A and B are shown apart, each in its own frame.
Chain A
């Protein structure tokens, strides 16, 4: 069965790019533009993994991550941010991995493969 990934990012172009890249990798991909939509989709879509941007208008990614962890104890979450500086924030330790955005998303794809291979 194909694994489902929820991409949470406020930038439409990044969401579209990740849908394309991750679909090519053989995943089903759903997207959310902010935390409120993400929480709803976690309940309705039951993703196997979430990729989460940090700098977003309104609720930031680290705050979303804290809330996810209160209910979704074991749901894999990868922070995918353009900024590496937030890695030193203690809240980031609740993510499975922290990757910085790159043009080909190679590190992100490798981490997704790695985590989902452990989960299966």
Chain B
């Protein structure tokens, strides 16, 4: 598509002017691979090589573009890209160069700083190029192979899916926000089992990104870490066909939830809670959950073990009780607050967070966030949930320390069924709160 004909021309684009000009000169591509990056120059080379080789191997007759959307040191990333210009990695891989050489571009995205805006720039480029399909890859991936490109793109091109979510083999303690919150809430609320609803690597159709770009959310937390759960939820609620692709192990710069994940937690959970309000008409009617199609090839993979400091999580929870109890008293139903006080008083050696208390707490917080702020800032409400999440994570680690990853997965599945069983609690309390507002 000519840029002058693009409906995006009158908007403030996240993709910068120089990249727009390059895209304009390219006119059209069949496939785009986007790599949102924030100072990932040291690791991005591997991802670019795998993407380029994957395109050559599986889509040799398609015109393709790789676009890196950088939010940090733009020059360093450009230098890393320039270092790959001779493409001599083709010689070592036994993969023939494709009919159309893949263009590798870098844009320094504009707008709210965060992953969501980096992705917006890639979506804009996809729309300008009028692609048939695309995929997004995390810039810090170490386990990527060219096969990922086929698995993320082929279901869009050949089977007309709108979103291809990743399905990874992960260590039982990798992805705690996914396992404790994003997966079970998506399943219970919207009725679709998408195992990695905030996975950074996914495939998309042009129709899906047109729908996403049309929404006025890009100045909110969605423009940061909320982007992945937002896209998955929109795709489910707006009836795009979703499938999953088994990508094997995800090896990346994983983090201990007690030390690193608090900002991500606030942005992801804030987005999930906002979506609960936006899509209330959808989730209130949903009963049970449906599986999601899956493609790929089974392989024995051993994800990298992750250590979680359980004592640190329990200490952080216990130490925060005096600070957050006033907020918990406002947010939680009285019986849930009382139970939480009992959990906090327990001997650390016997520490356990009951699953039903965790689920009801999440539901109470979502109601307070949307309908009953009692003069509190919504960000303050989310912040008060962080220690309870630490408590739940500590409890999960205790319960699963002697289990292998498959057995831990069984426990997560069991917890998901509790989310489904307790959903009427959310429906009832949400509706009561709404009636109280009238």
Are A94 and B294 closer than 8 Å at their CB atoms?
yes
Near B by CB (< 8 A), chain A positions 86-120 give 88-91, 93-96, 114-115, 117-118
Instruction: Assess whether B18 is interfacial by the CB under 8 Å rule.
Output: no
Q: In the complex, what residue of chain A is closest to B244 when comparing beta carbons?
A: A93
Instruction: Assess whether B45 is interfacial by the CB under 8 Å rule.
Output: no
Q: Which of A69, A89, A94, A118 contacts B287 (CB under 8 A)? A: A118
Are A93 and B193 closer than 8 Å at their CB atoms?
yes
Are B291 and A96 closer than 8 Å at their CB atoms?
yes
Are A93 and B287 closer than 8 Å at their CB atoms?
no
Are A90 and B298 closer than 8 Å at their CB atoms?
yes
Q: Which of A66, A93, A95, A114 contacts B288 (CB under 8 A)? A: A114
CB of B193 to closest CB in A, whole Å: 7
Q: Which of A91, A114, A115 contacts B294 (CB under 8 A)? A: A91
CB of A47 to closest CB in B, whole Å: 16
Are B167 and A93 closer than 8 Å at their CB atoms?
yes
Are B290 and A69 closer than 8 Å at their CB atoms?
no
Instruction: Assess whether A70 is interfacial by the CB under 8 Å rule.
Output: yes
CB of B163 to closest CB in A, whole Å: 13
> Which of A76, A91, A117 neighbours the largest number of chain B CB atoms within 10 Å of its CB?
A91
Contacts of A118 in B (CB 8 A): 287-288
Contacts of A66 in B (CB 8 A): 293-295
CA distance A94 to B244 in the complex (A): 9
Q: Which of B193, B292, B293 contacts A70 (CB under 8 A)? A: B293
Are A93 and B291 closer than 8 Å at their CB atoms?
yes
Contact with A along B244-258 (1 / 0, CB 8 A): 101000000000000
Near B by CB (< 8 A), chain A positions 41-100 give 66, 69-70, 73-74, 76-77, 88-91, 93-96
Instruction: Assess whether B296 is interfacial by the CB under 8 Å rule.
Output: yes
Q: In the complex, what residue of chain B is closest to A77 when comparing beta carbons?
A: B291
Contacts of B244 in A (CB 8 A): 93
Are A89 and B292 closer than 8 Å at their CB atoms?
no
CB of A112 to closest CB in B, whole Å: 13
Contacts of A94 in B (CB 8 A): 291-294
Near B by CB (< 8 A), chain A positions 12-46 give none
Are B406 and A88 closer than 8 Å at their CB atoms?
yes
Contacts of A70 in B (CB 8 A): 159, 293
CA distance A77 to B244 in the complex (A): 17
Q: In the complex, what residue of chain A is closest to B193 when comparing beta carbons?
A: A93
Instruction: Assess whether B62 is interfacial by the CB under 8 Å rule.
Output: no
Instruction: Assess whether B195 is interfacial by the CB under 8 Å rule.
Output: yes
Contacts of A73 in B (CB 8 A): 241, 293
Near A by CB (< 8 A), chain B positions 290-319 give 290-296, 298
Contacts of A96 in B (CB 8 A): 290-291
CA distance A103 to B434 in the complex (A): 49
Are B298 and A89 closer than 8 Å at their CB atoms?
yes
Sample of 5 further A-B pairs with CB below 8 A, known A76-B290, A90-B298: A69-B243, A69-B294, A90-B296, A93-B244, A96-B290
Binding site for A on B (CB under 8 A): 159, 167, 193, 195, 241, 243-244, 246, 287-288, 290-296, 298, 406
Q: List 15 A-B contacts (CB under 8 A).
A: A66-B293, A69-B293, A69-B294, A73-B241, A89-B298, A90-B246, A91-B298, A93-B167, A93-B244, A93-B292, A93-B294, A96-B290, A114-B288, A115-B288, A118-B287
